[in-house]
Structure 1
Amino acid sequence: MNYMMPIAPAPAQPHEPSEPARRYAQASKSAATIRAYGAALRSFEAWCKARALVAVPADVATVADFLSAEADAGRKVSSIAQKAAAIRWAHKTAGLPSPTEAEAVQNVMRGIRRSVGVAPKQKAPATAECILTILAHVPTTTLVGKRDRALLLLGFAGAFRRSEVAGLLVEDMALGDNGVDITIRKSKTDQEGRGQAVAIPHGVHLKPVEALNAWLDGAGIKSGPVFRAVTSRGQVGEEAITGHTVANVVKRYAGRAGLSVADFSGHSLRAGFVTSAADRGADLNRIMDVSRHVDPRTVRTYIRRSDRYKNHAGAGFL
């Protein structure tokens, strides 16, 4: 008897993702993360090219050697970990197995963390007292001064990240009798854009809402980005400032106030609010209402730092 052998189906041809699929996949990471990964990958590719090695797909030994070289060059652990994450992302995006998941590479990263150390250098918090000192050096009559005063006070009062300050829109603010309600459309802990609300009271001492209104009125801003570039001729731009501008404003006035510029960053405003609130015995949950920290342990580190001399174990005999 003759039996007909079944005809094997032709192997499926690889299907390239469509442009919309690639666009949405790209949107899974923030723009800042994409930029950071791009820079990390360029560094890896240049290192590989200099040694006639292939960057993607890379083999395990190549990645292990690259990360080790980064550590030997004195790079921070956080920077090395970011480059490892970028390599992983590049391989996964291309549909390739990532060499970073190999035990050999994992061991290298563990060794780097143990050898180099992972304790970050803490930037100085711009506390309420520090803000008052800095504000004494911010002009009150120029447009740049009005903008920078509002930026510093709003960033502090809302415990905002520098990217959140830079991304504020007039449409996201609602002025009321008690202050201004600000909706943060997207943030580090809210990448999907559900929105987080922050209440900024008028205040008695620092008066952040008053400073905000002075800037908006002086600049004639009715909609769009709150904080914008101002030219030397006093012309207000249309585009929002960047997070780097926020950090530069903090550093500039810290320097003018005679403080160590290297100790301050854009994060100093956020850290300053949490530290000031902890200093004054504010409830943890109320602090988190403003700071929007997801993990209370992060906030407790500020509280412990604030309380380290209160009821000290050696107070009675030192």
Structure 2
Amino acid sequence: FSGIFSVGIWRDKDDLVHQDLVDLSTKMPGIVLKSKADATVVKYRRAFTCWKKWASRFKEITVLPANSFHVGLYLTSLIQSGKRSPVIMNAVYGIRWAHRVAGLPDPCQHDLIKNITEAARRCYSDPLKKKEPIDVVILEKLVVRFGREDCSLVDLRFLTMSILSYAGFFRFSEVSSIRRSDISFHEGYVRIFIEKSKTDVYRDGRFIVVAASGSKLCPVRMLHRYISLANIKEDSYEFIFRQVSYCKKQRKYVLRGNKPISYTRTREIFREKCREIGIDVNSFGLHTFRAGGATAAANAGVPDRLFKRHGRRVSDTAKVGYVKDDIKELLSVTSMLGL
């Protein structure tokens, strides 16, 4: 980041004389970088580095501050080399981010750049292939096949994560980060604290309540059953969904370590289970449990305020993207037109 913090507004630090001010100026870049999530900064930095590498081939191009026409040439070169729309947009975001951090005018605000990115979206985007939402029928098949009373800890872990994700509209990052100390059981429901989520940018946290249903798909019963089988103590600060290993001495699977199970491993298990019950693995993914719960709630007429609160959503656009409307709901539009 040295290049970004040596141009634009950051040049003012060269005029500082007092040591206290100099010390503060060295700490300020780290604080500025915290304005975005770490993963976002890594992505923007990678995109800016690619722009910098390309621009270094041409002596007439300045990397920072950049000229809008030169940025347009760079985006055109990406398109000509077969890069798709997401790569083009990442390039724009990276260049824009670097200029804003440096306190320089954003070259990507020019209409030329906007036209190129719009063209990339229209002509160089792959068709959107959204996964299907998981429904109760599929969940029942999974529970019947893998949720027997004598099932292994591996299978019960998978079922608990799946049903909780469905019932709580949990993203994988949320459900995998649940600790035992985040869970409190009550009469008729369980209360789970989500320390951080994608839409909770200031990390305030949110409590989610999940009702007991009393059925074989009951998320509260499934969670309690899993915690008991895994022998996780009530006052434990450990992650509940972790890796497991087979203990020969006890002749059963036990939890090990204290790191959440990885997305990759969970996805592998999910695809294995889908194949065993005859489900097309390419039509579903881990995120479709969240989408499935959201779809069921929306089609059941859950009030919008409660829907957004339960799902930690901040926009109507996100809701529309998640929910797959029931055919009866879709037909109700024309049914009410008086035709």
- Structures share fold, TM-score greater than 0.5: yes
1:274 counterpart SS class: helix
* Aligned equivalent of 1:203, options 202, 213, 218: 213
How big is the shift at 1:152?
Answer: 0.8
2:138 counterpart SS class: helix
Pairing 1:225-304 to 2, within 5 Å after superposition = 225-231=239-245, 234=253, 235-300=255-320
| CA–CA separation in structure 2 for the residues paired with 1:129 and 1:51 | 59
2:285 counterpart SS class: coil
- The answer to whether the 8 A contact 2:47-2:94 is kept is yes
Query: Which residue in the other structure is 1:63 paired with?
Result: 71
* Matching of residue 161 in structure 1 with residue 171 in structure 2: yes
How big is the shift at 1:79?
Answer: 4.1
* Matching of residue 103 in structure 1 with residue 111 in structure 2: yes
| CA–CA separation in structure 2 for the residues paired with 1:46 and 1:168 | 41
- The answer to whether the 8 A contact 1:219-1:236 is kept is no
Task: Please say which of residues 120-129 and 88-97 is displaced more in the overlay.
Answer: 88-97
Query: Which residue in the other structure is 1:147 paired with?
Result: 157
Query: Which residue in the other structure is 2:180 paired with?
Result: 170
How big is the shift at 1:136?
Answer: 4.3
How big is the shift at 1:231?
Answer: 3.6
Pairing 1:59-98 to 2, within 5 Å after superposition = 59-98=67-106
Mind listing any 5+ residue stretches in structure 2 that lack a counterpart? 1-11, 17-21, 248-252
- The answer to whether the 8 A contact 2:84-2:120 is kept is no
* Matching of residue 191 in structure 1 with residue 211 in structure 2: no
* Aligned equivalent of 1:24, options 12, 17, 31: 31
1:13 counterpart SS class: helix
How big is the shift at 1:137?
Answer: 4.7
Residue by residue over 1:227-248, the C-alpha shift from the partner in whole angstroms, topping out at 9 and shown as x without a partner, is: 2222465452211234455544
- The answer to whether the 8 A contact 2:133-2:324 is kept is no
How big is the shift at 1:62?
Answer: 3.8
User: Closer, same or farther in 2 for the Cα pair 1:39/1:12, shift >3 Å?
Assistant: closer
| CA–CA separation in structure 1 for the residues paired with 2:275 and 2:58 | 44
2:155 counterpart SS class: helix
Residue identity matched to 1:271: A
Residue by residue over 1:151-190, the C-alpha shift from the partner in whole angstroms, topping out at 9 and shown as x without a partner, is: 1111111001222122222222221112211122222221
| CA–CA separation in structure 2 for the residues paired with 1:68 and 1:173 | 52
User: Closer, same or farther in 2 for the Cα pair 1:230/1:35, shift >3 Å?
Assistant: farther
- The answer to whether the 8 A contact 1:165-1:246 is kept is no
Counting matched residue pairs gives: 305
TM-score (norm 2): 0.75
User: Closer, same or farther in 2 for the Cα pair 1:301/1:31, shift >3 Å?
Assistant: closer
Query: Which residue in the other structure is 2:325 paired with?
Result: 305
| CA–CA separation in structure 2 for the residues paired with 1:138 and 1:247 | 16
How big is the shift at 1:12?
Answer: 7.3
| CA–CA separation in structure 2 for the residues paired with 1:152 and 1:209 | 12
How big is the shift at 1:119?
Answer: 6.9
Residue identity matched to 2:260: A
2:184 counterpart SS class: strand
How big is the shift at 1:148?
Answer: 1.3
User: Closer, same or farther in 2 for the Cα pair 1:304/1:136, shift >3 Å?
Assistant: closer
Residue identity matched to 1:35: V
User: Closer, same or farther in 2 for the Cα pair 1:37/1:125, shift >3 Å?
Assistant: same
* Matching of residue 13 in structure 1 with residue 14 in structure 2: yes
Task: Please say which of residues 121-130 and 11-20 is displaced more in the overlay.
Answer: 11-20
Residue identity matched to 2:259: E
State the identity as a percent: 25
Mind listing any 5+ residue stretches in structure 1 that lack a counterpart? 1-10
How big is the shift at 1:107?
Answer: 2.1
How big is the shift at 1:125?
Answer: 0.7
